[in-house]
Amino acid sequence: MPNSVLAIFYTVLITIILWMYKETRSSYVENMKQHQQRADKAIDCYSELELELFKYINENSDINTVYEKMAAASFIMTSDLMKKCFEIKIAENEERRVKLLRELHSNLVTEIKEVKFNQHNPITFKSDDGVKFMEHYVKTKVAPFLYPLLQTFFNIVFLIVAVWLIVHLLSIQSMTEQIQFIGTITGVICYGLMINLAISLVIMKKRFKHTFINWTVSAFFIISPSILFLKFTYQGIVLVLIVIMYGFYLVSKSTTK
């Protein structure tokens, strides 16, 4: 009988792991497709606007056509490019307008190169740089399998820990200890949810700003559950506060809009 129960447990666990991995990988692949489509659209719109700006600067187009291209590309523009377009429209004279148009043209060329570099299209990608080649290989070949596996691992660990905590809570007799333990459970659950959000922003949606301060803050957050080993009364509440502060920092400072 114990062997049968154990076999059922492992069967259910493996089924859950496979289901989580399948769903996570499907979500990742879909996000990658959407990112690729958005990059393709951005290159198309930016290239059309860049050409129209080039023609206008060389006196082969009119300003109304340029404005139409700006409007067509506005849905894909960054906030800085959009701001520059507004400045062009309210320019007080032609000299000022041409100066701003030249700046916008330069910014667009830079943006097109950046989008193209980050596109990681296996058909158009070409580089003799070994580091760039490895980065391209990892993002196109390894990441679709490794990143969903990583998130699945965190989900399973989080699920096992949560179940263990609940079972342990039911065995505690003291009301004070139960309240303390509930705080710990709440902290662990909030931490697990925040880790999932962080993985989604960093890996799935690629909105994380890769700066030293952001990675330093994230590293401290990752090891923050170690305070649970200090065994003081309000350790769970402290962990919840850390999660809230990191969540605010992540959304407001560490990610692109």
- State residue 62's pLDDT score: 86
Whole-number Cα distances in Å, 121 to 1, 115, 116: 54, 11, 8
Give residue-wise pLDDT tens across range 91-118. 878 888 888 889 989 989 888 888 877 6
Whole-number Cα distances in Å, 95 to 91, 98, 139: 9, 5, 45
Chosen domain end from 64, 98, 119 = 119
Strands (E), the chain: none
Chosen domain end from 66, 91, 119 = 119
Give residue-wise pLDDT tens across range 201-215. 665 556 677 788 888
- State residue 133's pLDDT score: 63
Residues 104 and 182 in one domain: no
- State residue 35's pLDDT score: 80
Residues 102 and 47 in one domain: yes
Q: Cβ contacts of residue 60 below 8 Å, gap of 6+?
A: none
- Is 80 within 8 Å of 89 (Cβ atoms)? no
- State residue 8's pLDDT score: 81
Q: Which pair of tokens denotes residue 17?
A: 């792991």
- State residue 3's pLDDT score: 67
162 φ, ψ to 5°?
-60, -45
* Structural domain range at position 202: 130-252
Low-confidence ranges of the chain (pLDDT < 70): 1-3, 118-138, 140, 200-207, 231, 233, 256-257
- State residue 188's pLDDT score: 80
Instruction: Look up residue 204 and give its DSSP letter.
Output: I
Residues 95 and 199 in one domain: no
In a domain, 80, yes or no: yes
- State residue 160's pLDDT score: 80
Distance between CA 46 and CA 44 in Å, rounded? 6
- State residue 204's pLDDT score: 55
- State residue 225's pLDDT score: 84
